[in-house]
Amino acid sequence: QRYVALIPAAGVGARMAAASPKQYLPLAGKPMLRHTLQAFLDCAAIAQVYVVVSAADDYIGDVVADCAGRVTVLRCGGATRMESIRNGLRALDAAPHDRILVHDAARPGLTPALIDKLIAEAGANPAGGLLALRVVDTVKSTRAGRVETTPRDGLWLAQTPQMFPYELLLRALEQAPDPEAITDDASAVEMLGLSPQLVEGHPRNLKVTLPADIGIATMYLTSEHP
Ligand code: CTP
Ligand code: MG
């Protein structure tokens, strides 16, 4: 069983509203995606790294120029994150039981230690697993037209990597009803009646989404790894 990374990097970063897609913004001296790739390149368990970009991407060549054959670029990005990942799965080379670790390009704070932890705790689980954070704030809901408080015990925030057997993830994404509604890979696997394992992640693995996240990510990237 091999461990293969698949990094969706075909988004436009609409919420960041920067001049280039957010995965290419400089953070602590390097493009965001270069930090993300480095966590996998520094992790001995990872056999191969694939990155999915859009067909018209002008930036990826420079970012992977020094990655010496360990990163394969797939120019098959789709209209949604889910479609980018599904297209990438169809294009990459893996055996049915190989574990695919899907990880957002926009989470540059990932470390080799967090990848190793996910593999150690969930690598043997046939339903896969993902990094996640326990909810620490009090959670309010306004859905029913009134304010209610949802008990936070047992609530988690999903991170990535999310790791599944290749055959299971491909099947889950091909059967998923609505690409817009699938915001992570685990939810597609859950729809098959399976329970991916939650493994405690770390706040430094935040998804850089809004302009305010740039400063937080820079702070983590210039501080010691856990
Ligand atoms: N992604 C992708 N293909 C898409 C949309 C998103 O590969 N069609 C990737 C992004 O590049 C990112 C990850 O999925 O690494 C998580 O998505 P998100 O944070 O939503 O990034 P964007 O879609 O680029 O940002 P926004 O939603 O603000 O436009
Ligand atoms: Mg998006």
* Residue 20 CA neighbour count, 13 Å, CB half: 13
**81 Cα to the center of ligand 2, angstroms:** 7
Ligand 1 atom having least distance to the Cα of 22: 24
Half-sphere exposure (Cβ direction) of 111: Cα atoms closer than 13 Å: 15
Number of Cβ within 10 Å of residue 62's Cβ equals: 11
CB 186 within 8 A of CB 168: no
84 lines ligand 1 (CB under 6 A): yes
Question: Is the Cβ atom of 184 under 6 angstroms away from ligand 1?
Answer: no
Walk me through the domains of the chain, giving residue ranges and CATH numbers.
3-221 (3.90.550.10)
- Tell me what ipTM this predicted complex has: 0.99
Question: What does the pLDDT profile of the chain (226 residues) look like in tens digits?
Answer: 999 999 999 999 999 999 999 999 999 999 999 999 999 999 999 999 999 999 999 999 999 999 978 999 999 999 999 999 999 999 999 999 999 999 999 999 999 999 999 999 999 999 999 999 999 999 999 988 899 999 999 999 999 999 999 999 999 999 988 877 788 999 999 999 999 999 999 999 999 999 999 999 999 999 987 6
| Whole-model pTM over 0.95 | yes
